[in-house]
A and B are shown apart, each in its own frame.
Chain A
Amino acid sequence: MEKSKILIIDDDPDLRRALKIRLRANNYETVQASDGYSAISVAQKEQPNLIILDLGLPAGDGFVVLERLQNSDTLSNIPVIVLTARDPQSNEQKTLQAGAAAFFQKPADNNELLDVIRATLPGTWPGTALPS
């Protein structure tokens, strides 16, 4: 079976490296982007199965990225998990309304994050599994 591909969008290179180690250990392939602008082109090119998205990003913050993903014909079905240092009280509902599948505040519990990744990956995510 082919590995699922996860796109990590975060401007902190150390965190991208850490997530890459963690996700590879769980049998996922990873690709990365460090700003809001390149995120969309990387997503177009790589067509990931899932996206992990930070909110505070240079060149278009996480909300801009979410909006672009939602408005794209080819990317709007990819589940997005928001992983941010920002505060849930003012951001959680906003990101869910903008189309995110889940919201995590950093530092997030690894097992919880992995559970949600498994639950939202296409094939298990009812939205994309339905016949068109």
Chain B
Amino acid sequence: MNSTGTINTSHTHVLLIEDNPGDADLVRLRLIEGDSGSTFSSVNRLADGLASMAKEPPSVVLLDLNLPDSHGADTFRKVLEQAPGVPVVILSGQDDEVLAVKALHQGVQDYLVKGDITSNHLERAMRYAIERQALTRSLEMSRQQQLEFKNQFLSHVSHELRTPLTCIHQFVTILLDGLAGDINPEQRYHLGTVLNSVHQLRAMIRDLLEATRAESGKIRIEPRCIAIGDLIKQAASMMSATAKEKQVALEIGLDPRIPSVYADPDRVLQVLINLIDNGIKFTPSGGTVLVKACLAEADPSMVYVSVADTGRGIGPEAKALIFERLYQDPNSIDNRCAGLGLGLFISKELVELHGGRIWVASEIANGSTFSFTLPLYSLAKLLFPVITYEGQLRDAIVLVKVELTPLSNPPRTNWKDVCRQSLHTLHRCVYLDKDLVLPVMRNTDSNETFFVVASVDMERAEVMMKRIREQLEAGPGFRTAGVLKVSRSDVPLPSTGDSKSLKELVQTVAERITETVVLSLLSKPDPKVQTDA
């Protein structure tokens, strides 16, 4: 068997994790009987097993589920989590065979029932486990390669399609704008049709690339504090021409109390336009598309946005599939409604990347309502990962203010405006120190300010401030942009002595940061603030 097998067992190292000495001896005996030439080590606690695997990954793990430091499903989950590439064979008792079968669905390769193990059994189970694991790995690798290839291919194709499309777009608009001489109304009408098709094609090329990205988890979002009402108004004004052309009323209903959300404005706009465009497409002339935003009653940490139309509605079968990639309602395909069937798939991916949810309520002939949720902005929530460590508040938290003043500074006049501006800056501009990704600062005619919250001591804060300064000064057009000021202030930490929860402590820090930011934006001199040289 050794000489013909595809696996050279002389290199097989078996790790047995088993706390019962009798069972361990039995397995060892069976291995020796099998004379497979494999090496063997055994431990009786899961922690020791994990440590041994970290040090030297074995070829295969024989795993008892009930150990002194771990029981049942937890045991194999921890092993799979630590070493997803190592094949695991469970040694189960009669009583936990059901669990062992379940484990097979979660990545365990095989199981043997103790007391029923022969050396042949054991040998074969291990051999097949190793083979299957190798096969799974190579399948996964080739899947990744294919996905990567598809990405590159589509990115290339979309680039190549854009070049001739640009040319068509340019010359059609040159004709339409009369730059090549006068055109008559009929010619204008025909050229308008060409231009519409150009826009459709452009949207399809964009969606094609986006869908591929979504599939391979490559869509990036850059969330910040935004007013959802403004975005809805913007989306509605962008779609108003389309609605008018189709003679569909486009209406907005905003709850004035909705607070800011934490989301990527470009991406949310994309979702809104997608849903509104769909709504208009499937609504007959004289109908209405209504976009609303309000607080979600079921979940106070979310804002709820909906796009309702008075169109023909969606049947239950289509409803189940409508967010799938490439899905198109078979009843809805006529020329006016054609698309790639990617819009809702992309919208779903985008909403879920924000931590929200998207769904549809609809009845045939009674219109459809697409709804999605977005998380509310909360400084405390954003700060949490930065200023806590292992369930405790970090020891030192510093607030760094970066301020660019143009050389010709318009005087500030209205105090009320200054206040409003300050809050706006606060919401927009608290950057955390994780990757120190700074915004591009360039010449404008007004002050530009942002803040970095970092959990570092004073000495490291100096280093960080230097880095911020260098990074910004290396940016384009900075030489003439204005005066850059980088300053810092300590954030006084709440005492951890009293019995406050970590969440409450973070909330307190967030309030203090808000206070410091607002004070510093109102330009009140603060003696605690130190400016770098």
For B174, give its contact among A22, A100, A108 (CB under 8 Å). Answer: A22
Query: Does B204 lie at the interface of the complex (its beta carbon under 8 Å from any beta carbon of A)?
Result: no
Interface residues of A in 100-115 (CB under 8 A from B): 100-101, 105-108, 110
For B159, give its contact among A18, A85, A93, A97 (CB under 8 Å). Answer: A85
For A107, give its contact among B155, B166, B440, B475 (CB under 8 Å). Answer: B166
Report yes or no: A127 in contact with B170, Cβ–Cβ below 8 A.
no
For B167, give its contact among A14, A56, A98 (CB under 8 Å). Answer: A14
Complex alpha-carbon distance, A24 and B480, angstroms: 31
Query: Does B1 lie at the interface of the complex (its beta carbon under 8 Å from any beta carbon of A)?
Result: no
Residues in A with CB closer than 8 Å to B442 are 127
Interface residues of A in 15-31 (CB under 8 A from B): 15, 18-19, 21-22, 25
> Which of A93, A97, A100, A107 has the most chain B CB atoms closer than 10 A to its own CB?
A107
Complex alpha-carbon distance, A124 and B177, angstroms: 26
Query: Does A34 lie at the interface of the complex (its beta carbon under 8 Å from any beta carbon of B)?
Result: no
Report yes or no: B476 in contact with A106, Cβ–Cβ below 8 A.
no
Residues in A with CB closer than 8 Å to B198 are 107
Report yes or no: B476 in contact with A87, Cβ–Cβ below 8 A.
no
Residues in B with CB closer than 8 Å to A107 are 162, 165-166, 169-170, 198, 202
Residues in B with CB closer than 8 Å to A14 are 167
Report yes or no: B179 in contact with A25, Cβ–Cβ below 8 A.
yes
Residues in A with CB closer than 8 Å to B165 are 106-107
Report yes or no: A21 in contact with B173, Cβ–Cβ below 8 A.
no
Residues in B with CB closer than 8 Å to A126 are 406, 443-445, 480
Complex alpha-carbon distance, A76 and B529, angstroms: 37
A-B Cβ contacts below 8 A, count: 76
Report yes or no: B163 in contact with A12, Cβ–Cβ below 8 A.
yes
Query: Does B102 lie at the interface of the complex (its beta carbon under 8 Å from any beta carbon of A)?
Result: no
Report yes or no: B159 in contact with A86, Cβ–Cβ below 8 A.
yes
**Range, interface on chain A:** 20 to 34
Given A18-B174, A97-B475, A99-B477, check contact A87 B209 (CB 8 Å). yes
Given A21-B180, A127-B480, check contact A87 B220 (CB 8 Å). no
Complex alpha-carbon distance, A19 and B202, angstroms: 19
A94 to chain B, nearest CB (A): 11
Query: Does B481 lie at the interface of the complex (its beta carbon under 8 Å from any beta carbon of A)?
Result: yes
Query: Does A1 lie at the interface of the complex (its beta carbon under 8 Å from any beta carbon of B)?
Result: no
Report yes or no: B162 in contact with A85, Cβ–Cβ below 8 A.
yes
B166 to chain A, nearest CB (A): 4
Closest to B213 in A: A89
Given A127-B477, A130-B480, check contact A96 B440 (CB 8 Å). yes
Contact with A along B158-188 (1 / 0, CB 8 A): 1110110111011101100101100000000
Interface residues of A in 26-40 (CB under 8 A from B): none
Query: Does A70 lie at the interface of the complex (its beta carbon under 8 Å from any beta carbon of B)?
Result: yes
Closest to A55 in B: B159
B163 to chain A, nearest CB (A): 5
Contact with A along B27-53 (1 / 0, CB 8 A): 000000000000000000000000000
Complex alpha-carbon distance, A124 and B170, angstroms: 26
Complex alpha-carbon distance, A106 and B159, angstroms: 9
Interface residues of B in 441-477 (CB under 8 A from A): 442-445, 475-477
Given A107-B165, A127-B443, check contact A18 B170 (CB 8 Å). yes
B94 to chain A, nearest CB (A): 56
Report yes or no: B476 in contact with A98, Cβ–Cβ below 8 A.
yes
Complex alpha-carbon distance, A56 and B159, angstroms: 10
Report yes or no: B166 in contact with A85, Cβ–Cβ below 8 A.
yes
Interface residues of A in 65-105 (CB under 8 A from B): 70, 85-87, 89, 93, 96-101, 105
Report yes or no: B477 in contact with A15, Cβ–Cβ below 8 A.
no
A29 to chain B, nearest CB (A): 16
B496 to chain A, nearest CB (A): 40
For A22, give its contact among B158, B166, B167, B179 (CB under 8 Å). Answer: B179
Complex alpha-carbon distance, A96 and B481, angstroms: 15
Query: Does B407 lie at the interface of the complex (its beta carbon under 8 Å from any beta carbon of A)?
Result: yes
For A25, give its contact among B163, B177, B443 (CB under 8 Å). Answer: B177
> Which of A19, A96, A100, A127 has the most chain B CB atoms closer than 10 A to its own CB?
A127
Report yes or no: A110 in contact with B173, Cβ–Cβ below 8 A.
yes
Complex alpha-carbon distance, A131 and B169, angstroms: 41
Report yes or no: A70 in contact with B202, Cβ–Cβ below 8 A.
no
A97 to chain B, nearest CB (A): 7
Report yes or no: A87 in contact with B159, Cβ–Cβ below 8 A.
yes
Complex alpha-carbon distance, A126 and B220, angstroms: 32
Complex alpha-carbon distance, A93 and B222, angstroms: 13
Complex alpha-carbon distance, A97 and B474, angstroms: 9
Report yes or no: A97 in contact with B476, Cβ–Cβ below 8 A.
yes
Residues in B with CB closer than 8 Å to A100 are 476
Residues in A with CB closer than 8 Å to B162 are 85, 105-107
Complex alpha-carbon distance, A85 and B475, angstroms: 24
Given A107-B169, A130-B480, check contact A21 B163 (CB 8 Å). no
Given A87-B159, A87-B209, check contact A21 B476 (CB 8 Å). no
A99 to chain B, nearest CB (A): 4
A81 to chain B, nearest CB (A): 13
Report yes or no: A130 in contact with B477, Cβ–Cβ below 8 A.
no
B62 to chain A, nearest CB (A): 47
A5 to chain B, nearest CB (A): 19
Given known contacts A93-B440, A106-B165, A130-B408, what 18 new A-B pairs fall within 8 Å (CB)?
A15-B166, A18-B167, A21-B179, A70-B476, A85-B159, A85-B160, A85-B162, A85-B166, A87-B158, A87-B159, A89-B213, A97-B475, A101-B477, A107-B169, A108-B166, A126-B445, A127-B442, A128-B480
A interface list, Cβ under 8 A from B: 12, 14-15, 18-19, 21-22, 25, 56, 70, 85-87, 89, 93, 96-101, 105-108, 110, 125-128, 130
- Give me the 3 closest cross-chain CB pairs, A-B, nearest first: A18-B170, A85-B162, A107-B169
8 pairs of residues in contact across A and B, judged by CB atoms under 8 Å: A14-B167, A15-B163, A21-B180, A85-B160, A85-B162, A99-B477, A105-B162, A130-B408
